[in-house]
A and B are shown apart, each in its own frame.
Chain A
């Protein structure tokens, strides 16, 4: 049931894409725009993927294997950029690096050159988009790679060392291949998020499929054409999942020694140590400090004329709150049935993770089509419900995860004890598993709320009239060239996003197998 609730928007969209003709707009989109959209999404994914790997993997390797100045701090600082959604970073960077941004103005003032006389990196193109998304999403790979390096058998590395392998060779030929499945999993997650991005691509003017879906619905008023584009996007996402599975499958037997030994971090010589600090510092500076301080500066500069956002804040709390509440109930159901290996429970879990992989724009489209079929209109309660449904569909998995983890930590004997005392499965679920699962509930609810609050495309498409959320306001102000006004809601979103990230890093620092500091 929970799985069905989650899955309906996806399948409705897919079926609509396959069955409906697509309308007049479709032939135009197919002939003139489809190649550009698809190329934009694929190019963005490829470039973002490469940039994430060369940022996140070395950073994870450094903080796990070596001791250098500031290592302990960087270990968790490097997770923080996860707090800011891609579109917020896009606003900040487009302004920072733009023609009227501080760097270019300084160049022109100092040299007296005009803009055509020098080259400066442009954010408003595909590489710019990939850069911004890398900043926002590299922590996924950093986290999984770090976890893989930490839990890797040290013996294999020491064997390599004793055979005379250089530290680079140990990384490249021993640690990296063993960590590959984890890195691939992190990368798949990051790229699913990248494929779902609407705000950054729209603002930086890069046509992607997600952008095309929203536009087909908004400008052409053609849900059918949008559903066709959604088919292509979903195919790409499925490709990502299959690629990840393939990597995992082949890497099955690589961890031959499972003996546990504490990681002893090699202390880097001073020069190399400072270089490592500088690299980690640079990543954190570029991905977080620089854009966020630009937003703070914009807010401070225009604090007298800042647009009021009290109502947007209220709307956000209600909408994200409704979404989180619905998703929470579904997540709880999934968590409590996770021990059951039956077909139904497995189906629910599969559906929930499918929802996570599907971009919000696609789910919103499905909800729109369902509402249309039922003759419901996008006003008032109906719209709020539709949006909560889409939030739940997309984020339930991430909310269920902490609860499943909490259940996993509880000893199985608790359940056996309940059974041997004659408790029915229902009674067991309610009086044994539920209290345990709820210990992960805080984290789950927080994640659900913040993910809903950051969501842009589905919120844009489904929110009830006059119900602008922080993300919608930020997007509207930014596209309206009122960046100073966009800065405040953007900062609030980032601030809210910091909460689960800090919680996450706290949990990480507590649960580190084999790590003796």
Chain B
């Protein structure tokens, strides 16, 4: 690309300031794509689709322990994906961190991740929570559960996802938009287990039970149940747990609701993961593997989940405060998580046809 006019030159100069935010070290501008990389050994570029303050603490701690400087970019999944495709071979990304297996699959499918062989990770992370070829590794669990109003609903009325489609809940169901990745991933499993026709019928019946058009996020659904607008909804468990640890208003709200872990008598509750993979053209592959292994260790597991209230995935890791409110023992679905990604477009089409906005 050649620039001739002063305006374009000014623009190009400014664009050079668009590198990864350098935190927690000095937030200086870095431009891996514009300047020739003269980086010291021991740098790690993380592309993250998460945005939690505790992640910054996590990066700082890793820096402290290893001397490897962490630079990170946080953005939405679609933007990260688009950015990496555009950067191509010159992408500075080493690690991709994302909070949904369906999303990790999209990176893998686009050829943006490389397989990694790590004994540490293979040993610590159960087989069904990582890509068979090592493109990505699950690090924390998130469960899609039913939240309900205990004044109106008995626990045994909501012990399966199918119950949400029951005629008993006409005008009682609140949901968020079907374009949301959590709903897409749940459908990714349902369509595989139930078949397309049954899954589509389920979606149609759930839509028929809507108390209102899909709106807001998971927290909005919990609030709607507490306020009495509807009596059942789907949420990820950690939104509920966070509210139990939140402000007085949030606690008062969440205490009016309860969680049910569906499919205990069959295949188990739908599990998704926050996970990480090594970028296809990672300039610092060793550091990238080291970081992911560190995340699977004691400290990494704790820092990864302490604010988010996800469930640590590695056996024996310390539980975040608040998780004691969940049942101590429940059955999780064992399901190849790549399938969630493979089924994503199908899932969206099913929801769209059912009229689930």
A-side residues, CB < 8 A to B, are: 28, 32-33, 99-100, 104, 108, 113-117, 122, 124-125, 204-205, 207, 215, 218-220, 311, 318, 322, 325-326, 376-385, 388, 464-468, 476, 479-481
Contacts and interface: CB of A to CB of B under 8 A. Distances in A.
B8 interface: yes
A381 B7 contact: no
Contacts of B19: 466
Nearest to A382: B1
A205 B177 contact: yes
Interface string B66-107: 000000010110111011001110000000000000000000
Given A100-B223, A378-B82, A382-B1, A114 B228 contact: yes
Given A116-B228, A377-B87, A464 B15 contact: yes
A114 to B, nearest CB: 3
Interface of B: 1, 3, 7-8, 11-12, 14-16, 18-21, 31, 33-34, 51, 73, 75-76, 78-80, 82-83, 86-88, 177, 179, 211-220, 223-224, 227-230, 253, 345, 348-349, 352-353, 357
A105 to B, nearest CB: 8
Contacts of B223: 99-100
Nearest to B77: A218
Contacts of B33: 379-380
B83 A115 contact: no
Contact of B224 (A28, A99, A377): A99
A219 B217 contact: no
B82 to A, nearest CB: 7
B79 A219 contact: no
B76 A33 contact: no
A381 B8 contact: yes
A33 B179 CA distance: 13
A210 to B, nearest CB: 15
A457 B184 CA distance: 24
A28 B346 CA distance: 10
A480 B217 contact: yes
Contacts of B34: 380
A378 B1 CA distance: 12
A122 B227 contact: no
A112 B353 CA distance: 39
Nearest to A477: B51
A466 B227 contact: no
B14 A318 contact: yes
A122 B19 CA distance: 42
Contact of A465 (B79, B88, B213): B79
B18 A467 contact: yes
A378 B86 contact: yes
A502 B291 CA distance: 53
B88 A377 contact: yes
A115 B227 contact: yes
A28 B74 CA distance: 32
B18 A464 contact: yes
B349 A32 contact: yes
A205 B227 contact: no
Contacts of A480: 51, 217
Contacts of A205: 177, 213-215, 357
B112 to A, nearest CB: 14
A422 B211 CA distance: 77
B11 A99 contact: no
Contact of B216 (A108, A326, A383, A481): A481
B20 A466 contact: yes
Contact of A385 (B8, B16, B87): B8
Closest 7 pairs (CB-CB, A-B): A114-B228, A465-B83, A380-B15, A115-B229, A377-B86, A381-B12, A381-B15
Contacts of B227: 99-100, 104, 108, 114-115
Given A125-B213, A380-B33, A380-B34, A32 B18 contact: no
Nearest to A28: B349
B75 A466 contact: yes
B213 A124 contact: yes
A379 B219 contact: no
A448 to B, nearest CB: 15
Given A383-B15, A388-B11, A481-B217, 7 more contacts: A28-B349, A32-B349, A99-B220, A322-B14, A379-B86, A380-B15, A465-B83
B105 to A, nearest CB: 14
A262 to B, nearest CB: 49
A380 B18 contact: yes
Contacts of A376: 1
Contacts of A99: 220, 223-224, 227, 229
B21 A466 contact: yes
A479 B217 CA distance: 8
A326 B217 CA distance: 39
B176 to A, nearest CB: 10
A480 B86 CA distance: 26
A465 B214 CA distance: 30
A325 B228 contact: no
B18 A466 contact: yes
A33 B353 CA distance: 8
A388 B357 CA distance: 33
A264 B20 CA distance: 63
Contacts of A379: 18, 33, 83, 86-87
A124 B215 contact: yes
B246 to A, nearest CB: 12
B88 A380 contact: no
Contacts of B76: 476
Nearest to B10: A322
Contacts of A467: 18
Contacts of B213: 124-125, 205
A322 B7 CA distance: 8
Nearest to A465: B83
B31 to A, nearest CB: 8
6 contacts: A115-B224, A379-B83, A380-B15, A380-B16, A468-B75, A476-B76
Contacts of A318: 14
Contact of A219 (B7, B15, B78): B78
A383 B15 CA distance: 9
Contacts of B349: 28, 32
A513 B31 CA distance: 56
Contacts of B83: 378-379, 465-466
B215 to A, nearest CB: 5
Q: Which of A113, A205, A383 lies at the interface centre, i.e. has the most chain B CB atoms within 10 A of its CB?
A: A205
A218 B353 CA distance: 19
A32 B352 contact: yes
A67 B183 CA distance: 58
B289 to A, nearest CB: 24
